[in-house]
Amino acid sequence: MSVVYHAFGACYPYVGVGVSNALVALGNCAKGGTVREIFATKPREMDGAGGVPADYQAMGGEAEIVLEIGAWDDTVGDLVIARSQASGAIGALIGNGGYSFVLNLPSAIDRPWTFPTAKLEDWYRTPGVASDNFVCKFKAWRLLGPTQTTSAATALYTRT
């Protein structure tokens, strides 16, 4: 199950890939973007239910953020791509390995969205007349630290 939100108006994505993970501008998203929150559940079977789920357990979830960026900063974009691919370190954990980043979506109209743990899932260009548009799909999740046993206290996003 999922819910899709739309960030209305222009959106100016910032990503935490700068020096000491400082937020830096990725570009300009004139059309806004979409945020799809995906709720994860897991069926729990019990003998008395005859093999069908007797209940569903909430397992947190993740978010998918899609932005069409008209003006893109190549240097920042390269950092985002390198981080999301763990800089080529095969087997590295993205979140606990320090490769994830903060994704911040301020808007002149809507309350800002801030995702503390995100990565670039996919991106592609749509060639234009004057410049290319970049369509970026980010994934955000509740990061569990090495000593945590539940993600209940970890925020998927904030809107303040």
Round to whole Å and give the CA distance between 94 and 100: 6
Q: How many CA atoms lie within 13 A of 13 on its CB side?
A: 36
Nearest to 110 by CA among 27, 7, 12: 7
Q: Which residues 6+ apart lie within 8 Å of 127 measured at CB?
A: none
With bands split at pLDDT 50, 70 and 90, how would you rate the model's confidence at 154? confident
Per-residue pLDDT at 7 exceeds 60: no
Do β-strands 53-69 and 133-141 pair in parallel, antiparallel, or remain unpaired? antiparallel
DSSP state of 82: H
Per-residue pLDDT at 9 exceeds 90: no
Q: Which domains does the chain have, with CATH numbers?
A: 2-41+57-141 (2.30.110)
Mean pLDDT, the chain, rounded, equals 83
1-10, 12-21, 37-46, 137-146: least confidently modelled range? 1-10
Residue 105 · residue 113 · CB < 8 Å? yes
Round to whole Å and give the CA distance between 156 and 84: 18
Per-residue pLDDT at 121 exceeds 90: yes
> If you average pLDDT over residues 49-72, what whole number do you get?
83
Per-residue pLDDT at 144 exceeds 80: no
With bands split at pLDDT 50, 70 and 90, how would you rate the model's confidence at 152? low
With bands split at pLDDT 50, 70 and 90, how would you rate the model's confidence at 4? low
SS3 state of residue 91 = coil
User: Which tokens go with 111?
Assistant: 């309350």
With bands split at pLDDT 50, 70 and 90, how would you rate the model's confidence at 125? confident
> If you average pLDDT over residues 91-101, what whole number do you get?
89
Cα distances (Å, whole numbers) of residue 82 to 6, 71, 99, 146:
27, 19, 8, 23
